[in-house]
Every structure is written in C-alpha cells, then in structure tokens.
Amino acid sequence: MRHDNPKAVALRARLNVHQPALAMAAHNPLSAKLAAAAGFDAIWGSGFELSASYAVPDANILSMDTHLEMMRAIGEVQDAPVIADLDTGFGNAVNVSYIVPRYAAAGVAAVVMEDKTFPKDSSLRPGGRQELVPAGEFQGKIAAAKNASGNAIPGPLVVARTEALIAGLGEAEALRRGAAYVEAGADAVLIHSKQKTPDEILSFCRAWPGQAPLVLVPTSYPQLSFADVAALGKVGLIICGNHAIRAAAAAMQNVFRRIIAEGGIAGVEADIASVADVFALQGDDRMRALEKAYLR
C-alpha cells in the first residue's frame, strides 16, 4: 500500500504558477512557528539561517545531523510544510541516497539541492567560490534523491537548484541545466541570481519552457513583487530566504544597544515581546492542561 507524505502532497498542490506559494526562512522552531502563524504557506529550512544562528559561515561547516534535527524540530511545532535546504546534498549521489530517507522520516515535504561543488560557498558572498559540478553528475544526485524512498513510500519533492547565473555561466547554460534536471526527475527548478535588479531572473523566467515550476529567492532583487512574479506564469514558489535571521539580528542589536545606552531595561519594555507572549509560543497552555490531566 502506498502512503504519501501528506505535507509533500499539500506542497505539490500549492505550487500554482498563477498564484505562487510563499515560504519564509526559519532557523529554529520558534521562528518557524511565527512564520506559520503569519500565514506563510511553507517553511524554508535555510542552511544560511541555521549557519548564522551558530555564528559560522554558510559553507557546509555544520553537520547533516545538526540540520536534520532542526528540520525535525521545526516540523513538530507547526503545520506548514518544511522545505529542507540540503545545500549540495552533503556529498555525492551515494550520500544523497542515504540522507533523503532520513529527511523523509523527519517529515519534510521537499528537499532542495544545488549543483555546486562540496564544500559550497554562499551564493551571495562577494568573491565567493562558485564552482559547479557537471550537469550529468547532478542529474545522478537528483535521481538518487527521487528514488531513495523506494516505490512503497514516495519521498519529499525534489527541487533542483542551479547556480549557473550565480557562477556567471549565462542564461543559456542555466536553461540547459534546468531542463536536464527536470529530465532527471526534479519536481521544480530553483533559479538563483545575485544581480541587484530582477532583469536577469525575468529574462530566464520568460525563456523557461515550463517543463516544471520555477522557484525564486528574490533576496538580491527585493523590488520584484509577488504579483510581478505571479504574472510570469512560470513560478510556483517564492522563498523569502533569510529574513527571519536578519530581522532577529537587527532587533537584538537594537535592543542590546539601547539597554547599554539607557543604563537599564525599562525603556525597551514596550518594544519587545512580553513574557506572556513567549509563554504562549512555548505552548504553556498545553503544559498546564497536561498537568491538570495527569499530575497526581
């Protein structure tokens, strides 16, 4: 009997190129819970955000176990589908075959892999090492991810991310790689750009023949609105790739500076969450109910 992953089924149904799904990045269960409560359709289990939360570079420094356990924890506290950012897949196609079932068991709805060499460098890092593996090699990783769960239990959606534009290889190569990855079984293609205007991405989207929905991460070109993306009729998912960690860092920096400058904590009280708010996010009401029901 086939037992579909309900979160993967829900996410697949939500990849509507005329009304793209919206995913917000998260680096821990609290940020994921806040994103889901705000109304985002999915949670982006961001490698960049998780690395930043550990104060280390986004360069495959954290282990797969660290990322996997965070994806599991994120999925346990809220109901939105989790899209796991696997970077380069933690190795070759053999590694991918081992790790994807573990992400499936953790309840993730989709995995995203990029076609860079291991260890990767952050796509938006100035002067970063943006080296791609051969397209055929990456096709093998996609096929391994698609087949890892076997026929009995369909696994997460597989999103193939090409860094051809990031590496400066041009639109034709990006299109060639995207088509090759769909041929290998990718459910969607993430196309990334570090240009400060959306022109490069818009050109790619218009040229994309539409074999599979596209995924955009408009970090570098924030002037492109969600409505503009929907009008293209090619994009099924928009990822807000790092806004949770950036918002958290900015808010903490501001509050910490004020406390030092003001010589006390009274001045910031009106601008931060109350202790009661945090209790609510922790599920304190449920714990009280459990205490009432079971403590003797």
Other CB atoms within 10 A of residue 147 CB: 15
Other CB atoms within 10 A of residue 44 CB: 31
Confidence label for 122 from pLDDT (cuts 50, 70 and 90):
confident
**For residue 119, cis peptide bond before it (omega within 30 degrees of 0):** yes
Q: Percent of the chain, pLDDT > 70?
A: 96
With tokens 């209790």, the residue in question is: 279
pLDDT at 1 over 80: no
Catalytic (active-site) positions: 58
Q: Which of 49-53, 130-134, 190-194, 279-283 has the lowest mean pLDDT?
A: 130-134
The pLDDT value given to residue 126:
73
The pLDDT value given to residue 152:
45
State the average pLDDT for the chain: 94
* 101-127 mean pLDDT: 88
Domain boundaries, the chain: 6-242, 249-294
Cβ-proximal residues to 131 (8 Å cutoff; 6+ apart), any chain: 116, 117, 167
**Which of these CATH numbers, 3.30.2290.10, 3.20.20.60, 3.40.50.300, 3.65.10.10, describes 6-242?**
3.20.20.60
Backbone angles phi, psi at 86, to 5 degrees: -90, 10
pLDDT at 148 over 70: yes
* CA dihedral (130, 134, 138, 139) positive or negative: positive
With tokens 């995913």, the residue in question is: 23
* 266-275 mean pLDDT: 97
Confidence label for 21 from pLDDT (cuts 50, 70 and 90):
very high
Tell how far CA 63 is from the center of its chain. 17
pLDDT at 156 over 90: yes
For residue 271, give Cα distances in angstroms to 24, 38, 235, 265, 268: 23, 19, 37, 11, 5
Q: What tens digit of pLDDT does each residue of 226-242 get? A: 999 999 999 999 999 99
Q: What tens digit of pLDDT does each residue of 168-177 get? A: 999 999 999 9
pLDDT at 4 over 70: no
* 54-67 mean pLDDT: 94
pLDDT at 125 over 70: no
- Report d(CA 75, CA 270) in Å as an integer: 31
Q: Which of 95-99, 115-119, 198-202 has the lowest mean pLDDT?
A: 115-119
Q: List beta partners, residue 189.
A: 160, 214
pLDDT at 250 over 60: yes
Confidence label for 195 from pLDDT (cuts 50, 70 and 90):
very high
The pLDDT value given to residue 129:
74
Q: Which of these, 87, 159, 82, 74, lies nearest to 116 by C-alpha position?
A: 87
* 215-229 mean pLDDT: 97
pLDDT at 3 over 70: no
